[in-house]
């Protein structure tokens, strides 16, 4: 957002857009919220959207479109093969990343499937700054293994390191030397999702690519969260202060052999794709596209979404556009810090992450503190966040619980969707919750699927803490919703 100072000295983000299409929201009374979360099996994935006031579950496919994106959707060229819309998208992607070839796919994980099927075989090792659920699943499905080589500071939840998504170069070189011939590619993730949307710096990305070249290893950039990472490089990396967003993007992209992205995040639409400079690489992956995605000129995407993505990618190169989410997130983080609410620092992209371990230390990890906090946030304010803790893990083969490294409640900030007053409301309700944290208890599973239990599993509260929390809410807020 533009640099606008308030006369009263207040430091708040100012929206550089106006809202022209709205969706009515519904805020249920607290007693209803207690019922709804019970009906949803205490799993925020199973809540009905009509019962949610602020949907902060994810940033995926829920970002607001611009008027120019909406307009572009009306002129889409709908043909199975050779669509002019595809050519527009292909040209835009190649312009932005400095690549030559583009393979379309229906979303980010579809790109990961194609990459894994083409390059990964049993016994392989894929070094990453940090894993993300979907690439890890595709790699391990084929018998490969993921090595997380993040800098140590990356897992420090309370930090002021501006680039917690950086690779540890020493660990990377050691891993390369120990796994000669077994590394199909190195994957670097922008806006490192699972550690709180934390960025890497340009200098680190370049060093990773140089190291990979030295050993003749291919490099892959997951650019799904590139827009947040880009903004944070621009505002935090001294050497990039005078570079344009386009220059930074080209500079990062030029080191990587392959760049892929989820268009549900990057480009404010729905879809994805893989970009590269080398024709042979493209040829290797190409035939999987019609097999799994769709013909080479749509890859499972609707032409309307491709038009919207083309414009969205262009708008991503505008600082007023991409600063919105990181500035709102930073505002949330700073307000929480002032109120003593445990939150991951520094602020990253994607969302604001509450540290459930410190928020409700009375709830042991075996009773899913991040999941319990997600239920409490819904009861306190109709706010739907996402558990990123032990519920999101899978059990060990012997049935024992694999405890997550961190117990976080993610409050995602879908881009350009919420206003500052809505964000202030969310902050207010979470601060209230923190003041009443002693009332929050744990959860236990009542239906636990073997795979992806965080999506479908059903839990119940241990004891009647949810009723007590609702009673306290009534006492403090009177007849307010």
Write out the residues near ligand PLP by the rule CB under 6 A: 60, 107-109, 132, 134, 189, 193, 222, 224-225, 262, 264-265, 272
Active-site hit among 55, 124, 222, 257: 222
CB of 129 to ligand PLP, least distance (A): 11
The question of whether 222 is a catalytic residue gets the answer yes
The question of whether 88 is a catalytic residue gets the answer no
Query: CA angle at residue 376 from 25 to 365, to 5 degrees?
Result: 140
The question of whether 265 is a catalytic residue gets the answer yes
Give the per-residue SS3 of 351-395.
EEEEEHHHHCCCCCHHHCHHHHHHHHHHHHHCEECEEECHHHCCC
Residue, CB closest to ligand PLP: 108
Closest CA to 322 of 11, 16, 10: 16
The question of whether 268 is a catalytic residue gets the answer no
Question: Nearer to ligand PLP by C-beta: 167 or 473?
Answer: 167
Q: How far is CA 36 from the centre of its chain?
A: 26
Active-site hit among 388, 410, 415, 453: 388
Question: Nearer to ligand PLP by C-beta: 109 or 437?
Answer: 109
CB of 199 to ligand PLP, least distance (A): 12
CB of 353 to ligand PLP, least distance (A): 14
Element (H, E) at 245: helix 245-253
CB of 425 to ligand PLP, least distance (A): 26
Question: Nearer to ligand PLP by C-beta: 289 or 375?
Answer: 289
DSSP secondary structure letters along 118-142: HH--TT-EEEESS--HHHHHHHHHT
The question of whether 297 is a catalytic residue gets the answer no
Q: How far is CA 404 from CA 144, 412, 455, in A?
A: 21, 20, 16
The question of whether 7 is a catalytic residue gets the answer no
Active-site hit among 132, 167, 231, 268: 132
The question of whether 133 is a catalytic residue gets the answer yes
Q: Are 322 and 231 in contact (CB under 8 A)?
A: yes
Active-site hit among 45, 77, 87, 133: 133
Question: Nearer to ligand PLP by C-beta: 126 or 433?
Answer: 126
Helix, strand or coil, per DSSP, at residue 220: strand
Q: Are 446 and 38 in contact (CB under 8 A)?
A: no
CB of 267 to ligand PLP, least distance (A): 11
Question: Nearer to ligand PLP by C-beta: 43 or 224?
Answer: 224
Cis peptide before 21 (omega within 30 of 0): no
Q: Which residues are catalytic?
A: 80, 132-133, 222, 265, 388, 454
């Amino acid at each position: 957002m533009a640099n606008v100072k308030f006369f009263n000295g207040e430091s708040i983000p100012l929206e550089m857009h106006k809202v022209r299409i709205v969706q009515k929201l519904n805020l249920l009374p607290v007693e209803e919220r207690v019922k709804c979360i019970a009906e949803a099996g205490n799993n925020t994935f199973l809540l009905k959207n009509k019962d949610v006031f602020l949907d902060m579950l994810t940033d995926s496919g829920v970002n607001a479109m611009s008027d120019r994106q909406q307009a572009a959707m009306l002129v889409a060229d709908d043909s199975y093969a050779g669509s002019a819309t595809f050519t527009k998208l292909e040209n835009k992607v190649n312009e932005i990343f400095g690549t030559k070839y583009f393979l379309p796919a229906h979303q980010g994980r579809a790109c990961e499937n194609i990459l894994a099927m083409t390059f990964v075989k049993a016994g392989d090792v894929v070094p990453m700054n940090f894993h993300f659920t979907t690439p890890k699943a595709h790699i391990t499905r084929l018998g490969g293994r993921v090595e997380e080589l993040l800098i140590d500071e990356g897992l420090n939840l309370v930090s002021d390191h501006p680039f917690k998504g950086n690779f540890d170069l020493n660990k990377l070189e050691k891993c390369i030397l120990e796994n000669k011939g077994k590394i199909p590619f190195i994957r670097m993730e922008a806006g490192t999702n699972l550690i709180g949307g934390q960025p890497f710096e340009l200098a680190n990305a370049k060093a990773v690519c140089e190291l990979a070249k030295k050993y003749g290893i291919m490099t892959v950039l997951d650019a799904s969260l590139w827009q947040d990472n880009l903004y944070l490089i621009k505002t935090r990396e001294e050497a990039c202060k005078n570079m344009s967003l386009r220059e930074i993007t080209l500079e990062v992209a030029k080191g990587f052999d392959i760049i892929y992205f989820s268009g549900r995040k990057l480009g404010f639409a729905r879809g994805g794709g893989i970009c590269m400079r080398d024709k042979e690489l493209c040829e290797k992956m190409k035939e999987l596209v019609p097999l799994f995605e769709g013909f080479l000129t749509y890859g499972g995407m609707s032409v309307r979404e491709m038009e919207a993505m083309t414009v969205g990618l262009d708008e991503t190169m505008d600082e007023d556009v991409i600063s919105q989410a990181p500035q709102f997130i930073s505002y949330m983080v700073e307000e929480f810090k002032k109120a003593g609410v445990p939150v991951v620092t520094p602020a990253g992209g994607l969302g604001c992450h509450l540290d459930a371990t410190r928020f409700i230390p009375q709830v042991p990890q075996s009773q899913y503190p991040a999941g319990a906090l997600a239920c409490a946030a819904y009861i306190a304010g109709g706010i739907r966040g996402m558990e990123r803790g032990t519920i999101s893990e899978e059990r060990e083969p012997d049935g024992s619980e694999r405890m997550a490294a961190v117990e976080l409640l993610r409050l995602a900030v879908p881009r350009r969707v919420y206003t500052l007053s809505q964000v202030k409301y969310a902050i207010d309700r979470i601060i209230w919750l923190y003041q009443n944290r002693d009332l929050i208890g744990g959860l236990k599973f009542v239906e636990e699927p073997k795979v992806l239990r965080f999506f479908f599993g059903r839990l119940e509260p241990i004891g009647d803490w949810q009723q007590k929390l609702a009673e306290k809410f009534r006492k403090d807020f009177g007849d307010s919703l």
